[in-house]
Amino acid sequence: MKEKFRQAIDYVNEHRQLVGTSLIALIGIGTLIALFVYNQPVVYEPTTACNLLTPAKAMDALGDKVIQTGDSKPSASGDIATSKCGYTDENSDKDQMIEVSVAVQSAINDKGIAQNKSDFSQHRSTLSSKAEAVKNLGDSAYYDTSTGYLNILDGKRWIMVSYGVGQKPDSKPLDDVVSLAHKILQ
């Protein structure tokens, strides 16, 4: 054993430059790989709105028969992706039909999370007295009394829920919209 150890030391001493260069090259390659892995952006899977507002959840709100009015796959732009989904009941009178829809703005990276938080807060501040705070829903939520949209910041997503009557919907009572939102977030 001592002989093999002595031979290894002799080899290193005889080939000091080759061993040193190889060691520096390995450290350099390891550093480059570590920097490459570290600098890769984190990418999140965007939410598809119709995965939140399923036909079963729409039926809970609208009755046994629903008509899907929108289903968009997430469309990315910059650091966010948007998706929409909607349903109505089968009422042929457009002023009496009940509709429910969801729009989702999903962050697809860390910059998108910051953008969602900023956009959400900025939108809320522009509403001033027309924004009614909603507790125990997502990370933060408010109801826009001027449009009837319930806005929810939930992790990487800004979710907007509409639930009302008519083609240009008059919103259902806030408690009904919040109850639906809880089902959508489950």
Give the contacts of 83 (CB within 8 A, at least 6 positions apart).
46, 47, 48, 49, 50, 72, 73, 74, 75, 103, 104, 106
| 153 contacts 167 by C-beta, under 8 angstroms | no
pTM: 0.76
The predicted structure's pLDDT at residue 35: 63
Instruction: Band the pLDDT of 41: cuts 50, 70, 90.
Output: low
3 state SS of 41: coil
| 117 contacts 98 by C-beta, under 8 angstroms | no
Phi/psi at 53 (5° precision): -100, 85
More confident residue, 86 or 70: 86
Instruction: Band the pLDDT of 2: cuts 50, 70, 90.
Output: confident
The predicted structure's pLDDT at residue 39: 60
